[in-house]
Structure 1
Amino acid sequence: MQQVHPELAPRPGLSRADMESLQRRVAETAVFEDDLSFDPTSVSLGDPAETTLSGVSNPPLVAGIDQSFLDDHALSAVVVLRGGEVVERVHAVSELDLPYVPGLLSFREGGPILDALAKLDSDPDLLVFDGSGRIHFRQAGLATHLGVVCDVPSIGVAKSLLCGTPDEAVDGRPEGWRTPVRADDSVDSVGGHPATPETTIGYAFQSRQYDSRPIVNPLYVSPGHRLSAETAVDLVSRLSGDYKLPEPTRLADKYADEAKAQYE
């Protein structure tokens, strides 16, 4: 996978002010509306052959991206699906240059993820990240930053809420429930992207609940690039299987752990 905007890629050695400035440039470049090369309704976890027979030709390639860690290195894993079929898996081990700083995750993990994406033979139509997209202080989370660098539609799927305010309380909601997450005072207006109390920057989405387990918390889904918030959460719903995480990132998480065992 090629970088379309390498000048916007996260790089080491920047001051905090320079990192935040670069994030604002990324957010100005990001597109938070649908600009897709595929029909969102063609995305599913079904058999690609059956999908083709049902009238959808060549279902889109969806890449799930996650990481595991080895001391001061990140192992970045990418799993590419067409329907429910895995068509490619790659990983890369890269040195980490920064500690974790809330709001600056892409500068710690973005470079290592780009190392893994560069190994792909395929060109995914959609990237699904374990992390935030527009739900971010400068509207430029990991999924937005790397989605813009690669100029590929992307979605951020986070397990906790970095910023913003859900319209409704999220506790104990049934499977399939969702509510908008609106910008709050911690979210900056950037370029042509306002951050008012009316601005939907993502959704809280209850992907699963289980009778045999305590209440499962929702996911926080936001558009990374070339997607609206509404389509982003619809796609995550379509990519949800039997687990809390959408299947692409769940498989990437599993593969990251498997690959990590080779280095321990």
Structure 2
Amino acid sequence: MTSPRPDLEPDASLSRAEMESLQRDIAAAAVFDDDLAFDPTLLSNPLAAAAGGADGDQPIVAGVDQSFLTNDEGEQDRALSAVVAMQGGEVLERVHAITPLESPYIPGLLSFREGRPILAALEKLSVDPDLLLFDGSGRIHFRQAGIATHMGVVLDVPAIGIAKSLLCGEPREDTADRSEGTRIAIEADDSVDAPAGTVLGYAVQTRQYDSPNRYINPLYVSPGHRVGAETAADIALALAASYKLPEPVRLADSEATAAKPGGED
């Protein structure tokens, strides 16, 4: 995969103010409505998917995740970006790239630390994904431009952010101990560059224990680019077949560890 918008690629040499300004440009360019080249119900309807055939209408969905490598001083100095492309529940391709880290971790500026390593891994893919799922935020972001939005716009590919914790915004209801399949809207508050009450995404309960004594936290799912918030939540639920994480992201997470030299943690 190559970028049609190199002018919007993350640049770690920018100042913080310049990074935030670029994120606002990214958000302005993003499309937070469905603009998909496939029928998203294929991901949740096994009969429809089977009718599409292995090489038919089924979309190729790629999960993206990262791990980090340390130098002799124990400092993180390289990122290992892993991508797993799937179609019809089967893995088509696994790729990864190891690249230097150019920026420290700064909340809200994750794409400037991990974006270029991710682009390096995606360049190795021989298939063209119809949809990208990122371990991180999309529109649920201070400037509506999390890593899924940034990468989605740069590549002009539909993208969804799948985050394990809430970066910003406010849930409409309590998200604790919800039943499987529940979704609760996350609205913009005064921490977000959006009108108050704007639906940024959803807290999605993909899995839940059948026990009164413990519960699984929801995922925070938001559109990155060319996907609406409702469809993003639908897709996250459809692809979380057996585990909390949607399968492409879960496998990318495993690949990001397994591909380390020596398979180290």
Q: TM-score, normalised by structure 1?
A: 0.93
Point out where structure 1 has 5 or more consecutive residues left out of the alignment: 189-194
AA at the equivalent of 1:34? D
Equivalence for 1:62 = 61
Q: Return the offset for 1:205.
A: 0.5
Instruction: Give me the whole-angstrom Cα distance separating, in 2, the residues matched to 1:49 and 1:250.
Output: 21
Instruction: Give me the whole-angstrom Cα distance separating, in 1, the residues matched to 2:49 and 2:115.
Output: 34
Q: Return the offset for 1:51.
A: 4.1
Equivalence for 1:88 = 93
Equivalence for 2:74 = none
Q: Return the offset for 1:49.
A: 7.5
Equivalence for 1:202 = 201
Instruction: Give me the whole-angstrom Cα distance separating, in 2, the residues matched to 1:138 and 1:41.
Output: 30
Equivalence for 2:124 = 119
Matched length:
257
Instruction: Give me the whole-angstrom Cα distance separating, in 1, the residues matched to 2:43 and 2:142.
Output: 30
Deviations 1:221-258 (Å, cap 9, x if unpaired)? 00000011011101111111111111010000011111
CA contact (8 A) 2:38 2:57 kept: no
Q: Return the offset for 1:43.
A: 1.8
Deviations 1:46-84 (Å, cap 9, x if unpaired)? 599734269x93300000000111011110000000011
Deviations 1:127-175 (Å, cap 9, x if unpaired)? 0000000000000000000000000000000000000001100000011
Equivalence for 2:154 = 149
Q: Which runs of 4+ in 1 moved over 4 A?
A: 44-49
Instruction: Give me the whole-angstrom Cα distance separating, in 1, the residues matched to 2:24 and 2:136.
Output: 18
Point out where structure 2 has 5 or more consecutive residues left out of the alignment: 71-76
AA at the equivalent of 2:174? A
Equivalence for 2:170 = 165
Equivalence for 2:73 = none
Equivalence for 1:22 = 22
Instruction: Report % sequence identity.
Output: 62
Instruction: Give me the whole-angstrom Cα distance separating, in 2, the residues matched to 1:46 and 1:81.
Output: 15
Equivalence for 2:31 = 31
Task: Determine helix, strand or coil for the equivalent of 1:20.
Answer: helix
CA contact (8 A) 1:154 1:225 kept: yes
Instruction: Give me the whole-angstrom Cα distance separating, in 2, the residues matched to 1:229 and 1:255.
Output: 28
Q: TM-score, normalised by structure 2?
A: 0.92
